[in-house]
């Protein structure tokens, strides 16, 4: 194996030549890099697994059945608009407390409401703003 080419140490501002990622003075940074990479990997993985389970949930027969029941209960109308005396057909069944916040309430009819797109978008935007505060 030919020796690895010399290159500059990756530590900002160092510039010493080395055949590894870091020069001798900065070797210890490799462990830190690994740790950070691992934390990042773990976060991404957890996030995609969560998304997968939400996805599976929205396709589950339990949810589809519950969604139909809520739709019937609310007479196919948006409950928010109805509370303002407007009769608007519902588009989505919404989790009042989002499943990301409380997974255990995902099939609780008390936590479900029929909404039109406009009301649902408004609610989602409000929740997003709250989370980012």
Which residue ranges make up the site for Zn ion (CB under 5 A)? Answer: 9, 11, 14, 16, 23, 25-26, 78, 80-81, 88, 116, 119
Q: Which is nearer to Zn ion, 92 or 105 (by Cβ)?
A: 92
Structure tokens at 93: 């069944």
Q: How far is the CB of 98 from Zn ion (least distance, A)?
A: 18
Q: What is the DSSP letter of 77?
A: B
Cβ distance to Zn ion smaller for residue 29 or 66 = 29
Helix (H) or strand (E) run with residue 50 in it:
helix 29-59
Nearer to Zn ion, 17 or 39 (CB): 17
Question: Which residue do the tokens 């990622």 mark?
Answer: 21
Closest CB to Zn ion among residues 25, 68 = 25
Rounded distance between C-alpha atoms, residue 18 and residue 6, angstroms = 5
What element of type H or E holds 73?
helix 61-73
Minimum separation from the CB atom of position 108 to Zn ion (A): 21
Q: What are phi and psi of 123, to 5 degrees?
A: -65, -45
Question: 76: helix, coil or strand?
Answer: coil
In whole angstroms, how close is the CB of 118 to Zn ion at the nearest point? 5
């Amino acid at each position: 194996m030919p020796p690895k080419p010399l290159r500059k140490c990756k530590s900002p501002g160092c510039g010493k030549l080395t055949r590894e990622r870091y020069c001798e003075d900065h070797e210890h940074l490799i462990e830190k890099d690994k740790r950070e990479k691992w934390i990042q990997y773990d976060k991404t993985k957890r996030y995609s697994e969560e998304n997968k389970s939400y996805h599976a949930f929205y396709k589950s027969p339990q949810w589809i059945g519950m969604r139909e029941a809520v739709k019937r209960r609310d007479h196919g109308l948006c409950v928010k608009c109805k509370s303002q005396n407007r009769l608007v057909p519902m588009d989505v069944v919404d989790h009042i407390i989002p499943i990301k916040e409380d997974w255990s309430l995902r099939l609780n009819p008390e936590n479900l409401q029929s909404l039109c797109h406009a009301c649902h978008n408004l609610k989602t935007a409000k929740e997003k703003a709250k989370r980012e505060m």
